Structure 1
């Protein structure tokens, strides 16, 4: 009788576990186990990251004192009319990263966390130490169908990113920020909706950027993602309030944007990656904040800017370890602000050759041609050669 009672208790416990809330089945940022995995009674801790060296030659210097722009390609900082230095060689290991993941089973599904840092914080000098402070990239909790913390905005599609030596092709949708997101999985995809951190960026009458810091409503982002043997695609929507509360005048404007992106399989391991965006609330979400969400006049009245954006990239695999990508990206504002020196159009071409002699090692050489046009007609161009060596551990 004791044995029968024990078996009945075990059967009841197994039945209770089958009734727990399912996980959201969202593709993780880091699918590997990392270099180290530690287990306690209920929790597994994984540690991993990457070491990366970049050697970059720019046709003109765009970095200033910290050399940020000479490594990280800010499209809005491309020199105009040959105003930068002729030629700039830069070595950098700042894109090295370190991450920590935990996984804990619970009665309501797995509780997962991710903390990731890189070294794009405050810069040291290039004379002796070349030190750089750690910077928070991701820090979030996943439990059941909820994600809470800082990570990529729901509005973007990571799978649509081209594989490039640069951190990303510059004229794309990319923001990391704190958010609360709910995910509903289904057989061939999922639906997500999130409340995300707001931040209004505006252009004043002189062309300077201002951030009023008067936000009172969260950005609302949603995304429908579909998966299959053909690849992956998504359709996203974004709603925002852009607000300024001045000393005498308070004004706000509501805007929205849509984004479609994906990665489509073609022949063998080849694939086509794309993204298209349009709306009057894109602002800081596109081109690394190369554009603002709107402008504010001398009376404090806000006007939103309509922006269109797109990228297209094709990746070809020469063999199991050698591949190339060709990518083009462009962002353009449809507003006439010719009286102030703000960005009108940003675009870039990328062509690379990447080799992975080991699964965790990648060596790559990339050529980039980037262009920038202001509303007042000024233009600038930048040519970049980028060699990178990285090891994922």
Structure 2
């Protein structure tokens, strides 16, 4: 149907003019004989009256035509609106689908990684612990031979739901899985095992379940390597979190999280060969209080930032210290602080950085991965390990389809000087470097290439380096 508006006034004028002229002219000529016999003025008045009557009829016809056209246009608009409403009702929501009164969304990505390791086979990940483990196994600074492999273990599935309720408002659920399970095998007929990464529900401002720790910090660039940079605050665990929405001032998260840790560093042996001490893992059974985490996130212009902290109460059973049968329980306090920021520049450059450190945070800081939280000193007392580190990132948007990242991370651990057992094999420092190019020719598809280098040094000065090149194809859905 044409979108040109119906112009009733123009049609009415045209009809009136045509009909008036068509009728009036013959009548004028037919009336000329009468003009000669009677008063010319009277005859002309009669003629004008007849023309006015005809014009009135023309006006009535035009008004009827206007009304009919208006009714037809109204019916057309009503029909179009009805068809639009029916079409929207028949379609599924564009984002997710409905099951009863619950909206369900399924997304994730399929990731294929092909990796060439220069020194040994580390699969689709490379961290400092790989470097030192290979060194210890092979006995050279650059151990092993080159190896190539491929995997889809990082493929990820995400399922989220939202349900509207009268009592609690919107209740949400989230489950995220990948295929880094413990029983992975490349044998015939076998394949990657699924595992649950995150699983939680949300009610109002509460999050209840397994999610990234509130002490986590993601102010660093994208890596294809699954391990990521050294010194990242990296932990997923059960928790109860409450988020205060501070409107334009940002958000404040407060959480109680599971205290399960990475245990107590075991001394190797005393001088006489007897066990120096034994300790249970610093886990739930030895930690009567949850970890308390708090995080503030905000932004100022092109800069977004976060400040986070964590407090821990650590406890362990100490047995056999200096020949004693049982030294009983001992406790210590653990804490951590973190500052991270991201600065987006108008040149397409993004700068990111994090600095984190504390005592008794081995389970949280990647240095190199899951270090012990505590150790036993010469007095048979529990002490918290000091660990700290930083990450720096430069991300550059080269074109609308091509982005480059350079990510550097370095982590450190203290060398206890109040112990009599050997600390030679303890972690001293480690670092990682990742340089990549990510190409996104169309929205759901990304192709990438990355160079990774990992370094590890022990307290005794022994160090090792590992390197790989990784090619990845990622399909987001």
Shift of 1:71: 2.0
**Residue among 350, 354, 362 paired with 1:271:** 350
**Residue among 319, 322, 333 paired with 2:399:** 319
Contact residue 217 and residue 241 of structure 1 kept, 8 A: yes
The match for 2:337 is 258
**Residue among 381, 384, 390 paired with 2:465:** 381
Q: Distance in 1 between matches of 2:315 and 2:217?
A: 27
The match for 1:76 is 129
The match for 1:206 is 268
Contact residue 54 and residue 389 of structure 1 kept, 8 A: yes
Q: Distance in 1 between matches of 2:290 and 2:355?
A: 24
1:238 aligns with 2:313: no
Contact residue 239 and residue 257 of structure 1 kept, 8 A: yes
Question: Cα deviation per residue 1:287-334 (whole Å; 9 max; x = unaligned)?
Answer: 163422221258753121211110000100011110000111000013
Q: Flag structure 2 segments of 5+ consecutive residues without an equivalent.
A: 1-91, 270-277, 320-325
Contact residue 204 and residue 297 of structure 1 kept, 8 A: no
Q: Distance in 2 between matches of 1:34 and 1:347?
A: 47
1:1-393 to 2 correspondences below 5 Å:
37-61=96-120, 63=122, 70-79=123-132, 80=135, 81-82=140-141, 84-107=143-166, 108-158=168-218, 160-167=219-226, 168-188=228-248, 189-200=250-261, 201-206=263-268, 211-213=281-283, 214-246=286-318, 248=326, 249-287=328-366, 289-296=369-376, 300-336=380-416, 339-393=423-477
**Compared with structure 1, are the counterparts of its residues 315 and 192 closer, same or farther at alpha carbon in structure 2 (3 Å cutoff)?**
same
Contact residue 109 and residue 144 of structure 1 kept, 8 A: yes
Q: Please, what TM-score do these two structures have when normalized by structure 2?
A: 0.70
**Compared with structure 1, are the counterparts of its residues 349 and 135 closer, same or farther at alpha carbon in structure 2 (3 Å cutoff)?**
same
The match for 2:86 is none
Q: Distance in 2 between matches of 1:285 and 1:209?
A: 21
Question: Cα deviation per residue 1:34-84 (whole Å; 9 max; x = unaligned)?
Answer: 998220342101111111111111122254xxxxxx323343232334374
Q: Distance in 1 between matches of 2:416 and 2:182?
A: 36
Q: Distance in 1 between matches of 2:112 and 2:279?
A: 33
Q: Distance in 1 between matches of 2:229 and 2:279?
A: 23
**Compared with structure 1, are the counterparts of its residues 369 and 101 closer, same or farther at alpha carbon in structure 2 (3 Å cutoff)?**
same
**Compared with structure 1, are the counterparts of its residues 231 and 106 closer, same or farther at alpha carbon in structure 2 (3 Å cutoff)?**
farther
The match for 2:39 is none
Q: Distance in 2 between matches of 1:202 and 1:196?
A: 19
Q: Flag structure 1 segments of 5+ consecutive residues without an equivalent.
A: 1-32, 64-69
Specify which structure has the bigger relative contact order, considering alpha-carbon pairs within 8 angstroms and separated by 6 or more residues: 1
Corresponding residue SS for 2:165: coil
Shift of 1:99: 1.3
Q: Please, what TM-score do these two structures have when normalized by structure 1?
A: 0.84
Task: Give 1 or 2 for the bigger CA radius of gyration.
Answer: 2
Contact residue 230 and residue 411 of structure 2 kept, 8 A: no
Farther off after superposition, 244-253 or 181-190: 244-253
The structure with more helix, counted as a fraction of residues: 2
Q: Distance in 2 between matches of 1:177 and 1:35?
A: 32
